[in-house]
Structure 1
Amino acid sequence: MSFKIAIIGAGSVGFTKKLFTDILCVPEFKGIEFALTDVSEHNLQMIKAILDRIVEANKLPTKVTATTDRRKALEGARYVISCVRVGGLEAYADDIRIPLKYGIDQCVGDTICAGGILYGQRNIPVILDFCKDIRDVAETDAKFLNYANPMAMNTWAAIEYGKVDTVGLCHGVQHGAEQIAEVLGAKSPRELDYVCSGINHQTWFIELRLNGREIGKDELVAAFEAHPVYSRQEKLRIDVLKRFGVYSTESNGHLSEYLPWYRKRPDEITRWIDMSDWIHGETGGYLRYSTETRNWFETEYPQFLEAASKPIDPSKRSNEHASHILEALETNRVYRGHFNVKNDGVITNLPQDAIVESPGFVDRFGINMAAGITLPEACAATCISSINVQRMSVHAAISGDIDLLKLAVLHDPLVGAVSTPEEVWQMVDEMVVAQAAWLPQFAHAVPAAKERLSKSRVKTREWAGAAWRSVRSIEELRAEKAALKQAG
């Protein structure tokens, strides 16, 4: 087969490499073209060197090009994959740092909550630029695969305003299923059959069968509480399972910031999180992890390049959806997965305009969603709270309406549990001013926001959160990896 895949934000080096090797595990795809594009020439050249090494080591006819000219990369592309982080770690640091001044303690801050909403404001104008380029220069009816967060907002904007055939992709469902299979004693995750549905990062395992036997709430709770690791790392998720009756896909730390109950007071935060890894609830955990990962890659780049000389092993193909979707569309080998799409009847008790994450099947006719799923009432209520925030956030990003943006932040469940309206209004002004370089739609509102900030009497505090850890040095990371290698 011969077709072109464009990857926007290809400077996300580790993830781009994973997508690349996954796709080349499909025998029919050896001769396709990958066009890489990114705003960072430095990162772009690093990832191109790695992918070129993979092509050379495996003696493949695959073509790899790299350019900072996005439209050139998109010319003639049949598939466009986005994994961009608009504003990079600089803007992301503000997503965590500024809300902390107002008492809002986030673990990740990339989906909703104060950080996720501002992340969406930075992303959506860029997403619409991508969509225009796709309509202009890509193959007719090209498919846009969005991996970038905030998943629901980005996908909503691309479908509703970008008018491009878009699907949002995440790996939370797969990871949650692997956990469940493990605690139930399955020899392989394939023994677990499930229906998982909701919205991105708030998806719920509403049906579970292990080797055909139905698994109920009590058995699942007992299995998690008996597990020597998850009983400690997933305390909040287990509590939600007990109260809601179903398990959530999202990690302990991430789930905690979508709800108004667990991160509202510092003493409550420390009660529900675990500090063995960032993903279990650490303040700004993903920011620290991302910073350390970037620093590690920059320092250890020669090792990454050397590792690229190894043969591709199809048995190690990941469970990321992209390669499996492309394989199904191009070869008609049917794939079942969980996809982010416009609701339109997929889930009966969520708004029809929302972006939902739910089961679907892919073949040469496209992505076909299983329709008519009804969530348990508590799951639907929790999802709807986030959907209302997402809708206002998308509309604010499109219109540049700073008052609507403030209302969206005010209605966020965790923000509302922590902050007053006056605090929210000032916090949003501060975030918009700090991130003005990536928020062109709010340029008209920045002078007035600065003026309000100069006169504000709302008190803030210098606070690192309930569970902050500093970024570790390369030497500390090396020592930790050496210790893990010796122990393992």
Structure 2
Amino acid sequence: MSFKIAFIGAGSIGFTRGLLRDLLAVQEFHNIEVAFTDISLENLEMVTQLCQRDIDENGLDIQIQATPNRREALRDAKYIFSVVRIGGLEAFKHDVDIPLKYGIDQCVGDTLCAGGIMYGQRGIVEMLAICKDIREVAASDCLLLNYANPMAMLTWACHKYGGVRTIGLCHGVQGGHGQIAEAFGLKKEEVDIICAGINHQTWYISVKHNGEDLTEKVLEAFENHPEFLKTEKVRIDMLKRFGYYSTESNGHLSEYVPWYRKRPEEINEWIDLGTWINGETGGYLRVCTEGRNWFKTDFPNWLKEPAYEYRADHRGEEHGSYIIEALETGRVYRGHFNVVNKGIISNLPDDAIVEVPGYVDRNGMNIPHVGELPIGCAAVCNVSISVQRLAVEAAVNGDDMLLRQAMMMDPLVGAVCNPKEIWQLVDEMLVAQEKWLPQYTKAIKEAKQRLSAGELIPTKDYQGAARLKVKTVEELAENKEAARKNAAESDKAKERPSATK
């Protein structure tokens, strides 16, 4: 088989190298074309060197086409992976630090809340530009596989406004599936699940083992697990009150709802600092910063390490390679995918992007009808969907009033801030991120005028309830194996050591 696969944002070492390994572990794919593109020439060069070394040492005759020219990379591509982070870590820092001034304490800030909404404003405008390039130069039957966050917002915009077939992909379902199995003392492959909802708020509505329904026993299993009882307090509390376990980590989930991070003095009751993903303030920003710094510093040593082996038993769990394998070979793959609802979940809006089970083979992707979510779970999702819809329309139209309404409707922002504070918060974030927000030129000019006029609402010099210092390269060098693992993984919370708190 020969077809072209392009990676946009290929300088993302965690995703790019792992996804390429997964793809080239498929025997039929040893003659495909591979193209990398990134706006950072330095990152592009390093990742290309490393991946080309892997290819060469596996004896494959594939030469990566690496170029900063996105249209050249996309030309004639049949499959495109988007692993971009628009604005990079510079913008990400604004997503975390500016809301902290207003008392909004986020662990991640890439899906909802103030950070996720602004991340969407940057990402959507660029994703629509990417879609334009795809329509003009990629293969006519091209499929865009989007790994970029905020997953639902970006995938929504690509479907409604981009004119490109798009599937949103995430590893959250796999992670929670593994936790449920561990809680019951079982292997993951022994536990059958049905998981449905929206990205990062997907619910395990059916859990079975050998045909026995364990769904109502999940709470007891987690409450009896010595580690999860400490590290997943928010998820267990939501499970107790809504009846179903949610895909996302303690830290992620805590910032999507209004109850667990709104009072600084209570945050530490709900989180754990054993691992960042369990609730650390700005935790994902910290580990991403450390990972980037370590990769750049330690890169020469990466080339001395053994190459990835392209073997079936070395493949990761990311859905992307399995989807392409199923489409090209006909081997059936079952996963969980982000698609337009269109009645799949009957008590969520038809236009929303839902995360649901699906099957892929040579005939395409087939999504079974899920039906109604439990009414409480649907209510949680519907609040988030309203925020997503407002944020998408704001980003597409450069409408700062819709952006402000999205912030007001966000559960945690609304729990912490009053309307006047939200208006000023949006002004600050628009001005700080001006260079990534071309659609907001008029609104940013007006925001600058308001911010310079004086009489501003006082803000706080607040570092958050659980902020840890970014480690220096020298500190990272004290545990090189952990530093390298963090830099290399796409799922930077895959391994969660026992709690220390």
TM exceeds 0.5? yes
Conserved 8 A contact 1:169-1:322: yes
Conserved 8 A contact 1:349-1:374: yes
In the TM superposition, residue 117 of structure 1 has moved relative to its aligned partner by 0.3
Task: Specify the code of the residue in structure 2 equivalent to 1:365.
Answer: N
Conserved 8 A contact 2:6-2:80: yes
Alignment of 1:43-192 (within 5 A): 43-186=43-186, 188-192=187-191
Alignment of 1:344-363 (within 5 A): 344-363=342-361
Q: If the length of structure 2 is used for normalisation, what is the TM-score? A: 0.95
SS state of the match for residue 300, structure 1?
Answer: helix
Alignment of 1:21-420 (within 5 A): 21-186=21-186, 188-217=187-216, 219-307=217-305, 309-420=307-418
Give the equivalent residue in structure 2 for 1:424: 422
SS state of the match for residue 64, structure 2?
Answer: strand
Task: Specify the code of the residue in structure 2 equivalent to 1:270.
Answer: N
Could you tell me which runs of 5 or more consecutive residues in structure 1 were left unpaired when the two chains were aligned.
none
**Closer, same or farther: CA 95–265 of 1 in aligned 2, 3 Å:** same
Conserved 8 A contact 1:208-1:214: yes
- Rounded to whole Å, the distance in 2 between the matches of 1:244 and 1:269 is 21
- Rounded to whole Å, the distance in 1 between the matches of 2:102 and 2:370 is 41
SS state of the match for residue 437, structure 1?
Answer: helix
Conserved 8 A contact 1:32-1:63: no
Task: Specify the code of the residue in structure 2 equivalent to 1:207.
Answer: S
In the TM superposition, residue 473 of structure 1 has moved relative to its aligned partner by 1.3
Aligned residue pairs total 485
Conserved 8 A contact 1:358-1:369: yes
In the TM superposition, residue 457 of structure 1 has moved relative to its aligned partner by 2.5
- Rounded to whole Å, the distance in 1 between the matches of 2:482 and 2:127 is 42
In the TM superposition, what whole-angstrom CA distance separates every residue of 1:337-362 from its partner, at most 9, and x where no partner exists? 00000000110000000000000100
> Following TM superposition, where does structure 1 have runs of at least 4 consecutive aligned residues deviating by more than 6 angstroms?
482-485
Conserved 8 A contact 1:152-1:168: yes
In the TM superposition, what whole-angstrom CA distance separates every residue of 1:196-231 from its partner, at most 9, and x where no partner exists? 0000000000000012211032x2122112222211
- Rounded to whole Å, the distance in 2 between the matches of 1:236 and 1:144 is 34
SS state of the match for residue 306, structure 1?
Answer: coil
**Closer, same or farther: CA 481–224 of 1 in aligned 2, 3 Å:** farther
Task: Specify the code of the residue in structure 1 equivalent to 2:468.
Answer: R
SS state of the match for residue 34, structure 1?
Answer: strand
In the TM superposition, residue 484 of structure 1 has moved relative to its aligned partner by 11
Give the equivalent residue in structure 2 for 1:468: 467
- Rounded to whole Å, the distance in 1 between the matches of 2:310 and 2:342 is 40
Task: Specify the code of the residue in structure 1 equivalent to 2:477.
Answer: R
Instruction: Note the aligned Cα RMSD (angstroms).
Output: 1.6
**Closer, same or farther: CA 3–100 of 1 in aligned 2, 3 Å:** same
**Closer, same or farther: CA 484–357 of 1 in aligned 2, 3 Å:** closer
Conserved 8 A contact 1:102-1:460: yes
Q: If the length of structure 1 is used for normalisation, what is the TM-score? A: 0.97
In the TM superposition, what whole-angstrom CA distance separates every residue of 1:454-488 from its partner, at most 9, and x where no partner exists? 23421101100100011011222222457999x99
Task: Specify the code of the residue in structure 2 equivalent to 1:54.
Answer: D
- Rounded to whole Å, the distance in 1 between the matches of 2:444 and 2:417 is 22
Give the equivalent residue in structure 1 for 2:457: 458
In the TM superposition, what whole-angstrom CA distance separates every residue of 1:385-418 from its partner, at most 9, and x where no partner exists? 0000000000000110111111111110000000
Conserved 8 A contact 1:50-1:308: no
Conserved 8 A contact 2:205-2:215: no
- Rounded to whole Å, the distance in 2 between the matches of 1:481 and 1:227 is 31
In the TM superposition, what whole-angstrom CA distance separates every residue of 1:30-89 from its partner, at most 9, and x where no partner exists? 110110000001100101101110111010122311000000000000001100000000
- Rounded to whole Å, the distance in 1 between the matches of 2:455 and 2:65 is 51
Task: Specify the code of the residue in structure 1 equivalent to 2:241.
Answer: R
Conserved 8 A contact 1:51-1:308: no
Conserved 8 A contact 1:340-1:355: yes
SS state of the match for residue 300, structure 2?
Answer: helix
In the TM superposition, residue 372 of structure 1 has moved relative to its aligned partner by 3.8
- Rounded to whole Å, the distance in 1 between the matches of 2:324 and 2:370 is 26
- Rounded to whole Å, the distance in 1 between the matches of 2:85 and 2:202 is 23
State the identity %: 57
**Closer, same or farther: CA 310–74 of 1 in aligned 2, 3 Å:** closer
Give the equivalent residue in structure 1 for 2:488: none
In the TM superposition, what whole-angstrom CA distance separates every residue of 1:119-164 from its partner, at most 9, and x where no partner exists? 0000001100111111101011200000000000000000000010
Q: Does 1:444 align with 2:409?
A: no
Conserved 8 A contact 2:23-2:321: yes
- Rounded to whole Å, the distance in 2 between the matches of 1:312 and 1:174 is 22
**Closer, same or farther: CA 483–145 of 1 in aligned 2, 3 Å:** closer
Task: Specify the code of the residue in structure 2 equivalent to 1:129.
Answer: A
Segment of structure 1 superposing worse, 73-82 or 54-63:
54-63
In the TM superposition, residue 364 of structure 1 has moved relative to its aligned partner by 1.0
SS state of the match for residue 180, structure 1?
Answer: helix
Conserved 8 A contact 2:98-2:428: yes
Conserved 8 A contact 1:203-1:249: yes
SS state of the match for residue 193, structure 2?
Answer: strand
Conserved 8 A contact 2:476-2:483: no
- Rounded to whole Å, the distance in 1 between the matches of 2:305 and 2:28 is 24
SS state of the match for residue 204, structure 2?
Answer: strand
